[in-house]
Amino acid sequence: MTIEDWRAEIDAVDEELLRLLNARATLAIRVGESKRSAGLSVKDAAREREVVERARLANAGPLDSAAVARLFRRIIHESRRAEAAALEESLAQAEEALT
């Protein structure tokens, strides 16, 4: 294979990663909505540790465990940010509906 072939494969993987990350964020937003409706805290440190540890244990490399942990912590952080943005949008829409 040529460098261009390898790069094309990387591009395809990147597209799939983006699709999966957005699907995960959408699910995290739904979980956040359910938590708010139930009066639960949006942040669940124990669950976040569980997600990171499960990813580390499932990792077959070549990324090392520390890299996997950093990546999943960042994914969790960005999912939480997406949840917060969705909540703000929802509150703004509710406020607008009242005026």
What pLDDT is attached to residue 87? Answer: 86
Instruction: Report how far residue 84's alpha carbon sits from residue 72's, in angstroms, rounded to the nearest whole number.
Output: 18
Which residue spans within 1-99 are E strands per DSSP?
Answer: none
- Comparing CA positions, the residue from 89, 79, 91, 92 lying closest to residue 29 is 79
* Residue 88 clears pLDDT 90, i.e. is over it: no
Assigned token pair, 32: 């956040």
Q: What is the pTM of this model?
A: 0.86
Write down the pLDDT at residue 27. 96
For residue 48, with 0-12 CB atoms within 10 Å meaning exposed, 13-18 middle and 19 or more buried, which class applies? Answer: middle
Where are the domains positioned within the chain?
3-98
Mean pLDDT for 35-46 is 88
Q: Which CATH number fits domain 3-98: 1.20.1070.10, 3.90.105.10, 1.20.59.10, 3.40.1440.10?
A: 1.20.59.10
* DSSP at 96: H
